[in-house]
Amino acid sequence: MKPISAQITVPVQYKYEDRGSSLLILLHGFQQTHETMWDAFEPFFPEDHAILSLAGPFLVPVQKEDKYEKGYSWYFFDTKDQKFLVDMSPAIEYVGSALETLGLVDRNKTVIGYSQGGYFAPFLSKQLKFVQSVGLISARVRLDGVTTPFPFPIFCTHGERDTIVDYALSKESYERLSNMGQKGDFKGVDGLGHRLRSELIQPMMGMISKA
């Protein structure tokens, strides 16, 4: 059977506030929404940055009691077979298109992702212009095929009791990247698991503000 392809236009769910010339981009975790990140980060918004929180391109409904609620994903990865079912390429193109439509392509950017959004953040940022720094919360830097440091500092905060994204593996991955000459920092937070908490956000914003 002959392979064919087709295109669709995907509506972008987002929240944006123009508060300054630089841009902070927020990327949520699996089955979350743009509002998840906005609500968690709002007390820590830098005064001199515009804020853009995006939902992923793929709708993944979440069942809660007797109804479904909207959730989104950036990509789909089979953890058992350790392979992508849908890789990051469509989401990278999607974010780039959203930035172009909003007229934000040429802003200086900071990109912060939580969980799945954190995995996505460095690889998205390599395809964007004027990225100043990248933050990963409760996520690991995937090093498949990575042999040189990323062209921007990477900062990580991770709960030491995280049972979803293993803390020890995350720290080891960052140390390997650091040995390649990567700029940035890694901070473990005692007593925290995988939830997006202020105790993970506050030190992240502190590290990025000093970059």
**Total residues found in the chain within this entry:** 211
Q: Is the pTM of this model over 0.75?
A: yes
Q: What percent of the chain has pLDDT over 90?
A: 88
**In this structure, what token pair is assigned to residue 30?**
């699996």
What's the mean pLDDT when you consider all of the chain?
A: 96
Q: Report the alpha-carbon distance of residue 77 to residue 159 in Å, rounded.
A: 22
92 pLDDT exceeds 90? yes
Query: What integer pLDDT is reported at residue 78 of this predicted model?
Result: 86
Query: What integer pLDDT is reported at residue 64 of this predicted model?
Result: 86
Residue type, 91: A
DSSP string spanning 49-96? EEEEEE--SEE--EEETTEEE--EES-EEETTTTEEEE-SHHHHHHHH
Query: What integer pLDDT is reported at residue 83 of this predicted model?
Result: 87
Flag the least confident range among 25-34, 46-55, 141-150, 170-179. Answer: 141-150
Residue type, 111: V
Domains of the chain: 14-209 (3.40.50.1820)
